[in-house]
Structure 1
Amino acid sequence: MSGTHFFIEESTMDILSDYLLEMDTDGYSLILYINPSNTEFASEIFDTTKEISKNLKEWIINWSSAQAPRLKIHTVRVMLGTFLLITIHIPFQLDNNSSNSQVYAQTNDKFNMSYLYFGSPSTHVDRVLRTNNSLKVVSPSYFNLNENGNLELTPLLDSNFINEMHNRGIKVVPFLSNHWDKAKGIKALENRDQLVNDLVVAIEVNNLDGINIDIENVTPAQKEMYVDFIKQLRERLPSDKEVSVAVAANPNGYTTGWQGSYDYAELGRYADYLMIMAYDESSYGSEPGPVASHDFVERSIQYALKHVPAEKVVLGISFYGRYWNVEKGIKGNGIHLTKVQELLSAYENTITYDNKYQSPKAVIKVKAGDPPIQVFGKPLASGTYTIWYENADSIKAKLMLVQKYNIKGTGSWSLGQEHSDVWMYYDLWLNSKYFEDINQSWAKDEILTIVQREVMTGMTETKFSPTGTLTRAQAATVLVRAFKLQSLDQEIKAFIDVPTTHWAKENIDTIVSHGIMEGISIDTFSPDEPLTREQMAMLLYRVLEQQPSTSVGTSTFTDVESGRWSEEAIHKMTLTGIYKGYPDNTFRPAKSMERQEMATLMNRVLDKNE
């Protein structure tokens, strides 16, 4: 969480004890901390039986706006200790001196484009529409190369589609590809003068918005020609027409092979952006492995940023997987994510999520007599197949890298291969909003931080459920992730209510093996039972009891009686500053833990450990 504190004038100190200005993707939010001694002011806000008075609301808005008149403050949260008393939304108003009519929040939106390769013009509009307005640019396969390296228009070029996209505010920037044909790619770069002329004419005649160059599998010998090709395009096309380049991911900094044909720095001088093809880490002909592991993707971004400004780096995300069956000679064939889902629904399978690679892997068994399913027109024969692919967790992990490195945005290969559920969360996560139900939470920033730390996740693709009850299974999972606990090599007695298919089975076994949690009886764990504040204090006490603590004061709560089973744990966790009580000097030990409370606690623990 980042924010700025300001000096409080004496005239305001009787009302406020502190306030904090925080920047987010929508502008700024202001947190006001009420002086606990001003009971009249606090009680007026705290009285939930009536609406806050108009005068008081106006005072809060006017005072807040006066502290930072040039900033777009959209929300004011009034706090009394750890209690959120009220949230006030300030209507957006343009600066009278500004000529910009665009809403402020839109200026921070990350860029998102996608390629259109599969399907026909009749399906393309529907594929764009199901992205829930997430795309700024769509890049259809309109431009190919012939044997001489000259421009060849494809049958997909469709004026109706172009017009429809323009009506919806989406740019159409087709890609030019040699489709991995080295000879065509080299010819094209050698004949680049003529190719530039033809492209400029085709873009103008067809009312297109630019060009994305996707010439692959050429060599370092063509590196300078490649740069000159992009330079000529930039010089010949109007400035409002896009010129972008799809470049090979190069996490290892290779200067040979096809990776060596891309001079990132020089291409970046003339291109609007470089679309990093951060996929095919494992590809056709390779041994089984992830299409795009987290480390591979992150190092690809890091390499790009050594040569190109962040605002010119676009991260490519794969909407496909690859599958292997060594016995049948299948080594890394491509497969749509929609087809992966179909196979998993039809055949016996085992799915694992590799935490090292942050990629899912499925092993499916197609038995004789199973219903046949075709992959790219060929029925999948009986046998065992290994599939590495992308799912919501792996895609979200990649989207978080966009914010981590503050790059321009993302591209994807290719539209129509993804499962439609992707668009439920894609735009939110791309713009680090993550969940639609946390804006009113007092712990919004804590939630975003703990999610970025990959310790907690949402209850659904778009909801975190901040006030939802934390269950015992959830607590076990969070603690295992936070402290990176590994299962001890010992036999764990099975709980009758935690079958092998339970989503938290592995984490529950791990936390029990460490003696941090135990069942509520010999054979029952009660994974869905709520966890109380004192129970969580005890769990943290068990985890941290061997670690040194620094006293920050005394811990005395009116509702934690002497001799209570959790007294020592509550006392120690309060002394370390991990737990805090309520303004009325209570701890409320039997109160169920909320998910937003857990997010806050775990951030405090991890901050101290760091």
Structure 2
Amino acid sequence: MNKAKNRWSKCLIILAAAGLLTMATSSEPSVKAEASSSQGKFTMSYLFFGSPNSYTSQVDKSGQTLDVVSPSYFNIQADGSLQLSDSLQPSFITDMHARGKKVVPFLSNDFDRTLGEKAIDNREALVNQIVKAIEDNKLDGINLDIENVDAAYRDKYTDMVKMLRDKIPSRMEVSVAVAANPTGTTKSWIALYDYKALAAVSDYLMVMAYDESYPGDPTPGPVASLPFVEKSIQYAVTQAPADKIVLGVPFYGRYWNQDAAANGSGVSDQTLMNLIDMYKGTVRYDAISQSPVATFTISPTDAESSVYGNKLGPGDYTVWFENEQSLKEKLKLVDKYNLKGTGSWSLNQESSDTWDYYSLWSDGFYFADMQKHWAQADVLAAANRGWMLGIAADRFEPDAALTRAEAATIIVRVLGLKAEAGAIGASFSDVPATHWAWQDIQTAKMSGLIQGISSDRFAPDQIMTREQMSVLLSRALKLTSQASGGAAAKGFTDVPAGSWSAEAIAAMSSNGLVNGYADGTFHPSASLTRGEMAALLSRAQPLLTK
């Protein structure tokens, strides 16, 4: 057992004895029992629309969701050499690094076949230019997004990626955006991408599982129907490891009207919501494609609108797009196929509620009651470690009080304890073998980590208070306050300087582990909620691993 786990053991013995830690639920102990990382699934997004001055605010809207942002800093000149975009701002890179996010620009040929071919033919010089640009601008790698180049360039393109991987330090990212290939075709530009070979020389493949309908498409249809997306994943995982596949999801739709030249033109989900509102449109959900479809009519007397500078004339419009329901169905596939994570095209196109659920669903935790909840990130961290589960597949109950039975369960999960055959002793009279936590309570007891409130009673449903948690955790971590306990405790009007918990509360507070309320109180006798426990685990983690 390592030092960190020893610290956890000591902490949990004390906490569990008084029932101050809880993690699972009283009715659903098997929703998502194991996970390998507190970070959850990888998430990246492209930055293309809007002023570069708005890039930081665009990212900030996503909260803690994104690991990598990929701005359009790298372009290709007519001779195949690198051109740095005017949108490159050192201040944005600094901002992202301060937020713990990597900046990995994408190299694009803007779907121009000639430019793409020139770049690949000029790959040795281009690679050297990219490596220098990454180093000069303190960037974190490169995402290659070369599209619409004939499959005859397949091996040359793979060689270009290999050159980059060989010359860019391994701590930096080399990733490749690849076209979705739901039918496994070996023809057309889609066959440019040798998934197997590219995966071997890159960190991941960002599968562009969108543009099922496309600009100029005469037939209205989904941008990314669920069958199209799933078949694209199924092909990808036959060619490359699932943990090197990133599912690309769209934040946009496409519209059709009487103007054939506009068929399949793109519109952001964000803009579309405004258009539906403005023109009193309607939305239906297509069950087969798992995609929403909007219709609206612009009359000659209506206020004018435009999309990406293109005026929308009078007429009837049909728009296939993405909403919360369709995106959630796509995000579920990440867990189903155990993919590395997701990417998206692109920031500043998503609807305003997208980030309320994105991390939950991509990580495989479908807790509707965690959307917009203050403890969402902490609950995700605990859930991804397998420490805290929901009470059902769709509910976590973050505001429910913690119980002693849950405390026993967390001990077992955090320490990875297993019941030994024949080692289970007599049950507590109030914890029959049919109780959901019976096994964990017995395992924790036999391991010497938790005891009952008497020789034959455990009180599994008893709740824990905030001051009990403060006292026991401060002892476990051997915390001291920066000032004397009494002096620091005076900051909370309901914690008298001489009370039994004042010193512990002061120590916890001065170490940043607990907070009071806006009115200056601490509520020492209040119960600790499941959401608060998740937050406490996040805060305590650095101290527990010292």
| TM-score, scaled to structure 1 | 0.57
Change (3 A) 1:380 1:55: closer
How many Å separate the matches in 2 of 1:465 and 1:74?
Answer: 13
Change (3 A) 1:444 1:352: farther
Give 1:155-554 correspondences, 5 Å limit.
Answer: 155-286=86-217, 287-435=219-367, 437=369, 447-448=392-393
Is 1:152 matched with 2:83? yes
Corresponding letter in the other structure for 1:309: P
Alpha carbons 2:258, 2:316 under 8 Å: kept:
no
How many Å separate the matches in 2 of 1:58 and 1:463?
Answer: 24
Change (3 A) 1:56 1:288: closer
Q: Identify unmatched segments of 5+ residues in structure 1.
A: 1-53, 62-72, 85-103, 452-457, 467-610
- Give the C-alpha shift of residue 59 in structure 1: 7.7
How many Å separate the matches in 2 of 1:83 and 1:241?
Answer: 41
Alpha carbons 1:436, 1:463 under 8 Å: kept:
no
- Give the C-alpha shift of residue 241 in structure 1: 0.9
Corresponding letter in the other structure for 2:392: I
Alpha carbons 2:367, 2:390 under 8 Å: kept:
no
Deviations along 1:532-562, one digit per CA (max 9) or x if unpaired, are xxxxxxxxxxxxxxxxxxxxxxxxxxxxxxx
| TM-score, scaled to structure 2 | 0.64
Q: Report the counterpart of residue 8 of structure 2 in structure 1.
A: none
Alpha carbons 2:151, 2:191 under 8 Å: kept:
yes
Moved over 3 A (4+): 54-57, 104-108, 326-329, 436-440, 443-447, 462-466
Corresponding letter in the other structure for 2:238: K
How many Å separate the matches in 2 of 1:55 and 1:308?
Answer: 47
- Give the C-alpha shift of residue 436 in structure 1: 6.1
- Give the C-alpha shift of residue 348 in structure 1: 3.0
- The equivalent position to 2:55 in structure 1, one of 93, 102, 124, is 124
Deviations along 1:472-523, one digit per CA (max 9) or x if unpaired, are xxxxxxxxxxxxxxxxxxxxxxxxxxxxxxxxxxxxxxxxxxxxxxxxxxxx
How many Å separate the matches in 1 of 2:290 and 2:358?
Answer: 17
Deviations along 1:167-186, one digit per CA (max 9) or x if unpaired, are 11000000000000000100
Alpha carbons 1:290, 1:357 under 8 Å: kept:
yes
Alpha carbons 1:437, 1:465 under 8 Å: kept:
no
Report the more deviating stretch, 118-127 or 274-283. Answer: 118-127
Alpha carbons 1:348, 1:366 under 8 Å: kept:
no
SS at match of 2:239: coil
How many Å separate the matches in 2 of 1:201 and 1:56?
Answer: 53
- Give the C-alpha shift of residue 284 in structure 1: 0.8
- Give the C-alpha shift of residue 463 in structure 1: 8.6
How many Å separate the matches in 2 of 1:59 and 1:219?
Answer: 68
- Give the C-alpha shift of residue 159 in structure 1: 0.3
Deviations along 1:414-440, one digit per CA (max 9) or x if unpaired, are 100111210111111111222264789
Alpha carbons 2:41, 2:363 under 8 Å: kept:
yes
SS at match of 1:290: coil
Structure 1 vs Structure 2 CA RMSD = 2.9
How many Å separate the matches in 2 of 1:218 and 1:328?
Answer: 26
Structure with the higher strand share, 1 or 2: 1
How many Å separate the matches in 2 of 1:397 and 1:465?
Answer: 27
Identity %: 48
Change (3 A) 1:119 1:108: closer
Corresponding letter in the other structure for 1:159: P
How many Å separate the matches in 2 of 1:236 and 1:121?
Answer: 29
Alpha carbons 2:28, 2:390 under 8 Å: kept:
no
SS at match of 1:360: strand
Change (3 A) 1:463 1:370: farther
How many Å separate the matches in 2 of 1:407 and 1:248?
Answer: 17
- The equivalent position to 1:58 in structure 2, one of 12, 17, 37, is 17
How many Å separate the matches in 2 of 1:133 and 1:238?
Answer: 26
Q: Identify unmatched segments of 5+ residues in structure 2.
A: 1-12, 30-34, 371-378, 383-387, 401-546
SS at match of 1:208: coil
How many Å separate the matches in 2 of 1:59 and 1:162?
Answer: 47
User: Which of structures 1 and 2 has the larger relative contact order (alpha carbons within 8 angstroms, sep 6+)?
Assistant: 2
How many Å separate the matches in 2 of 1:112 and 1:258?
Answer: 27
Alpha carbons 1:435, 1:464 under 8 Å: kept:
no
User: What is the count of residue pairs matched by the alignment?
Assistant: 370
